[in-house]
Chain A
Amino acid sequence: MGRYVIRRLLQMIPVFIGTTLLIFIMVYALGDPVSALFGDRAPDPATAAQIRHDLHLDEPLWKQYLLYMAGIFTGNFGTAFNGQPVTELMRTAFPITVRLTIVAILIEAVFGVLLGVVSGLRRRGWVDTAVLVLTLVVVSVPTFVTGYLLQLLLGVRWGVAPATVSAEAPFNELIVPGLVLAAVSLAYVTRLTRTTVAENARADYVRTAVAKGLPRHRVVGRHLLRNSLIPVVTFLGTDIGALMGGALVTERIFNIHGVGYQLYQGILRQNSPTVVGFVTILVIIFLIANLLVDLLYAVLDPRIRYA
């Protein structure tokens, strides 16, 4: 187990270097960040050259990358377009997005599993049919449509929830955005749970549990669910990483100043330190989430042992 974890951590190094290099090149290809800094006005050539020199933009790309990586390991992610250090932006942005992700994951886990179990146990019943149609609709509609729709209906027309989120982004304001962010994954969790529950309900060990004279809630809760939820839990784990990076659209709609918002601003203003910095952190979160999921898998299923 210990050796497995070490091997997995070592495997992260090339993935980390590869992704950051890729992002670095892509941002570089966006164009000249210095002229973007001056907006519509033509920059004074001397000032522009000075800025280029300060930001090492006059160096070749490989050297820029190495300088950037060296900075990262000393905790220096560079400076954002407004003069703030990128680390400062991260300090405000990540807690907000983490809160949003927690809301989304909770919605996915609770409602997805609940609906999935009910429809999986009563296949072809009215609940099952309704859930299938509903999940299909949710999967088919893009996030920006559900987002603006819910914002309009719940926030503006009926006024039951705030239409936009304040700067502090407390949990209660994040419920509707969390729902929007979770929608597609929620549909997926529901379907995944439904399939595994229906599959396991026919398994021999469930028949054994019934033959032992166990009450139904115990047959379903201890025997059926314990097995059915293994793939669901692993999906939820990997989804954490995806949700944190994928909140871009949702954060724009509800004016949440989280990771997605800062990334959007960074791209808009061709500010490479912001973009590369945030993406780097997201990559690390994604890799760690994946590792934790794999380790969790071995805990949930005793048949799996890593060596």
Chain B
Amino acid sequence: MTTTTEKSVNPQAGKAGTPLLEVRDLHVEFRTRDGVAKAVNGVNYSVSAGETLAVLGESGSGKSVTAQAIMGILDSPPGFVTQGQINFQGRDLLKLSEKERRRIRGAKMAMIFQDALSSLNPVLTVGYQLGEMFRVHQGMSRKDAKAKAIELMDRVRIPAARERVNDYPHQFSGGMRQRIMIAMALALEPDLIIADEPTTALDVTVQAQVMDLLAELQREYHMGLILITHDLGVVADVADKIAVMYAGRIVETAPVHELYKQPAHPYTRGLLDSIPRLDQKGQELYAIKGLPPNLLRIPSGCAFNPRCPMAQDVCRTDIPVLHPVTDSRGSACHFWKETLDG
């Protein structure tokens, strides 16, 4: 089962106007014993080559589930994509066979997971796990694949790669393990990388190093990057645009610096206000009241209304659409103008 996939770049990818990846009206639900949990409810976003999209949201907002649907690694059952399109390099991934999707996974799009210790196989050497990419996708020999693995480890700046290629994941530090995850994702020079909370499990000092490495490699290979996170601090430096998710929908999307300067959704404002700031030392930290919604029973109208300081009657009845704020911004709030001004 070895297939040689040539590295042919789709002529449309990267060209202005045609994004590398475009998610359209995606719906995902989990059919559990307790009922149907609507995890993703009509998500739209796009990433171009060389662009970084940060997807921001609390746990349960559907940011990871969207990513899993794009990769085609949704746990199914219970998870099902019920509606929508995932256009990647001009093809709707949801219409492809499992075999065709498998060829794309790892080779054209790759994923970096949060916890590298549990995401790497504990009983296989890192060299084996890296080399497997070349052996399976390109039919490379064991020996050549190992040489490639060493090259990759050098690439992500793991010291003494040649000696450490036969080590097991538990013999590396947390930061080094995440570098191995990055190396694995980069192995076949994919066009798109999805990083699901890549630095959450790391020490703060290591976080910055890993994030810098990821940003640098993305620039070098001119890849599209979807950065899933709940950490606003991580986003500011590396992302081009942000999509804020709440209860399976995108509530605000904007270029990074515009969003930081002037949020157009009360939820985004709440998130920004809950970051500790040096100039407000000693004051009580703001927190969004209430809890994220239960996906089995999403509130009617705007899902955020029970926690929103600006909620009116209309918020409890009508689901707000994503209003265009400017050409490059959108807000799914009935009162986006007031939010923007206030």
Write the residues of chain A forming the contact surface with B, with a CB cutoff of 8 angstroms.
202-205, 207-215, 217-218, 222-223, 226-227, 230, 300-303
Residues of A within 8 A of B106 (CB): 211-214
Residues of A within 8 A of B110 (CB): 211-212
Cβ–Cβ contact B104 & A303, under 8 A: no
Residues of A within 8 A of B120 (CB): 205, 208
Query: Which of B129-137, B306-314, B325-333 lies at the binding interface?
Result: B129-137
Given known contacts A204-B113, A208-B113, is B136 in contact with A213 (CB within 8 Å)? yes
Which secondary structure dominates chain A's binding surface? helix
B103 within 8 A of A: yes
Query: Within the complex, what minimum Cβ distance (angstroms) separates B220 from chain A?
Result: 22
State which residues 111-134 of B face A: CB under 8 Å: 111, 113, 115, 118-124, 132-133
Alpha-carbon distance between A236 and B104 when the two chains are bound, in angstroms: 40
B105 within 8 A of A: yes
Interface size on B, residues (CB 8 A): 28
Cβ–Cβ contact A209 & B121, under 8 A: yes
B222 within 8 A of A: no
Closest to A209 in B: B121
Alpha-carbon distance between A204 and B120 when the two chains are bound, in angstroms: 8
Cβ–Cβ contact A227 & B123, under 8 A: yes
B158 within 8 A of A: no
21 A-B pairs within 8 Å (CB atoms) are namely A202-B75, A204-B118, A204-B119, A208-B113, A208-B121, A208-B184, A211-B73, A212-B132, A212-B136, A213-B105, A213-B106, A213-B107, A213-B137, A214-B102, A215-B102, A218-B1, A222-B124, A223-B121, A226-B123, A301-B123, A303-B170
- In the A-B complex, the 9 residue pairs with the smallest Cβ-Cβ separation, listed nearest first, are A213-B106, A213-B105, A204-B118, A212-B106, A205-B121, A204-B119, A302-B168, A211-B111, A215-B1
Cβ–Cβ contact B1 & A227, under 8 A: no
Alpha-carbon distance between A252 and B102 when the two chains are bound, in angstroms: 56
Alpha-carbon distance between A210 and B119 when the two chains are bound, in angstroms: 11
Cβ–Cβ contact B103 & A207, under 8 A: no
Most interface-central of A203, A204, A230 (chain B CB within 10 A): A204
Closest to A214 in B: B136
Query: Within the complex, what minimum Cβ distance (angstroms) separates B83 from chain A?
Result: 23
Contacting B133 at CB < 8 Å: which of A212, A217, A301, A303? Answer: A212
Query: Within the complex, what minimum Cβ distance (angstroms) separates A121 from chain B?
Result: 13
Residues of B within 8 A of A302 (CB): 122-123, 168, 170
Give 1 or 0 for each of B153-183: 1 = CB within 8 Å of chain A CB.
Answer: 0000000000000001010000000000000
